[in-house]
Amino acid sequence: MEVEEYCCYCGTCSNVCPEKAIELSDNEKVEIDNNACIKCGICVKACPVGAIYGL
């Protein structure tokens, strides 16, 4: 999974991830642990700006 630069850093993806594979870093960047990600697509559907891709 990847995150586009137009991510609005709202945290919705992190809140809905069932595996807690998404973290918001201190420098306002979303970090996805691709080893923990189960590719369920919940974050992709929840993102209000469509910034997550790569399922």
Spell out the domains of the chain, with CATH numbers in brackets.
2-53 (3.30.70.20)
Measured distance CA(31)–CA(10) in Å, rounded: 13
Please give the residue that has the higher pLDDT: either 46 or 1. Answer: 46
Measured distance CA(26)–CA(19) in Å, rounded: 20
Q: Residue 33: what pLDDT?
A: 95
Sign of the torsion formed by the C-alpha atoms of 39, 31, 44 and 54: negative
Task: Look up residue 43 and give its two tokens.
Answer: 């974050």
Q: Residue 35: what pLDDT?
A: 96
Residue range 42-50: average pLDDT?
96
Q: Is the pLDDT of residue 48 over 90?
A: yes
Q: Is the pLDDT of residue 27 over 90?
A: no
The pTM of the full predicted model, rounded to 2 decimals, is: 0.86
Q: Residue 26: what pLDDT?
A: 86
Measured distance CA(39)–CA(13) in Å, rounded: 13
Q: Residue 1: what pLDDT?
A: 78
